Amino acid sequence: MRFDVVTLFPELFAPLLTSGITRRAFESAQVDVKLANPRDYGQGNYRRVDDRSFGGGPGMVMMADPLARCLDAVRAGRTDAAPVILFSPIGKPLTHTMVERFAVSLGAILVCGRYEGIDQRFIDAHVDEQISLGDFILSGGEIAAMALLDAVARLQPGVLGDEASHRQDSFNPALDGLLDCPHYTRPEDWCGKSVPEVLLSGHHAQIERWRRDQRLRLTALHRPDLILRARDAGRLTAQDEQVLNGLQRPSPTKADSDKTL
């Protein structure tokens, strides 16, 4: 697959593409990343790519023409009709399901905005999908693009040391979309805190049940929306529901209320 990244700061991507375990995907071109700079397509001696906003206001806006020229050059180098993705606050939040979709696709063209944003006419004419990392603002789309590329790269065959690793990740359908459980390693006792005995038992069925219970507990505590989603999808067993019911605090009685007076 191939991802073309349209960015004014291509140098920001060097550490991602050459560091860490996911570099295997980039070096082998399993995830082929090409960088294109709109400034190379700007007009004039300064190759301008931004200008003031019509109607006034602070900041600058990325111009449509350099972006369109850059996009044309990118498309000329591809043989497919790759979708154009813009990272934007109005986009859908990036999820594991979306990452999985990209991980088995032919790739995409990722547009990284800067400044106050991009001329809306470019967005209307060329952008197929908008994606957000969350309800906060970044200086540009580069970090969001790197997050997507990293998430896609680690799902490629042979990239992780253990092929089963990503199947145990939080949000993975293999875990029914739940959060992952706590993990422990050596030493067995650290600062007076011991590893849960069940993990030392060697009883695999009990270990898996403990891990499942922990996933349910953590998800119910921190992301109850994921519990509802798993329940609606029919992914929770009767035993899972018993575990969740045991986590619910009983409703206060009149006697309990009297004690608080």
Given the residues 100, 150, 169, 180, select the one marked as catalytic. Answer: 169
* Catalytic, out of 10, 69, 83, 116: 116
Q: Which of 113, 61, 73 is nearest to 89 (CA)?
A: 113
What is the DSSP-derived secondary structure letter of residue 119?
-
**Active site (annotated) includes residue 116:** yes
Residues shown for the chain: 261
Whole-angstrom Cα Rg for the chain: 24
Burial 232-244 (b: 16+ CB within 10 A, else e): eeeebeeebeebb
DSSP letter, residue 114 = B
Residues 6+ apart with CB under 8 A from 92: 98, 129, 130, 131, 132
Give the other-Cβ count within 10 Å of 134's Cβ: 10
State yes or no: is 182 an active-site residue. no
40 is catalytic: no
| From 39, 48, 89, 209, the catalytic residue | 89
Catalytic residue among 2, 154, 212, 217: 154
Q: Is 252 tagged catalytic?
A: no
By annotation, the residues acting in catalysis are: 89, 116, 154, 169
